[in-house]
Amino acid sequence: MFAIRRSFSLLCRGSAASTWRNKSQSAAKRLDIRGIYPPIATPFTQSEDVDYQRLDDNLKKYGNLPFRGLVVQGSNGEYPYLTPEERVEVVKRVKQALPKDKLLMAGSGCESTRATIQMSQQMADAGADCLLVVTPCFYRGRMDSRALINHYAKVADSSSVPVVLYSVPANTGLDLPVDAIIQLSQHPNIVGLKDSGGDITRIALIVQKTRSQGFQILAGSAGFLVAAYAVGEIEFLIIFTLSSIFQSINPLIFVHPAIQYLLIFCLFIVLND
């Protein structure tokens, strides 16, 4: 994954980017991911197996709330602790329970490009509407813009559903470089970015540089939610990560974050009116 291959050198000379720009003229037809997406937790049993019954119980509650969809196998889904089979099975269970009008954004990122492509296809087959692909980070010292562009381009080329870039430096120790994001925004199968870093200046720059591509930005934390919304105007999209909602395994605890979400949802309606 880290070697600079001939296909990547061609990309750097601009031929691939030019092709992406030509294809991205149809950006208006890209998947619309505007809305609120709670990143759901993966419940576990005492023996550390996935608790599918608790998952089903939680999904019944999520399905009744006015969200655009759910993020499954994001950081809060604790995907590093799941087997590949469990990761796919969780996505399959969520798809079966989720109302048809809601989107399922599934985290398919792995450390190698090959593994990410395989996981992405399995999650698409399991029902994911789009894929959230985190930056590979074990060899973060080698993860420069060229390596990351090569990685994401190959994943997006191979994916049968749209891809969302995922930058979460608190967990990976790696910020997806702005120049890489700008170039990748031209890829017709990369529809947006979830940025959990919280640097508002950086987010504003990305919004400004990618606006013409129809590229969609999602804020990954409630801590910078209002500021991110302000710099992105109406085109900026929001993902909430109110931590208390992840305790929804307990029905008594679930009520509190639900009210918070509904209040924020109403606020956005007012802001967009």
How far apart (Å, rounded) are the C-alpha atoms in residues 241 and 225? 10
Q: Which residues contact 251 (CB under 8 A, 6 or more apart)?
A: 57, 61
Question: What's CA 66's distance to the chain center, in Å?
Answer: 19
* Enzyme catalytic residues: 194
Nearest Cα residue to 261 out of 32, 34, 33, 38: 38
Calculate the CA 191 to chain-centre distance.
Answer: 10
Burial 232-250 (b: 16+ CB within 10 A, else e): beeebbbbbbbeebbebee
The answer to whether 133 and 103 are in contact (CB under 8 A) is no
DSSP string, 232-266: HGGG-EE----GGGGGTTSHHHHHHHHHHHHHHHH
**H-type alpha helices, 98-177:** 113-126, 145-158, 169-172
Smallest CA-to-CA distance from 135 within 90, 91, 81, 194 is with 194
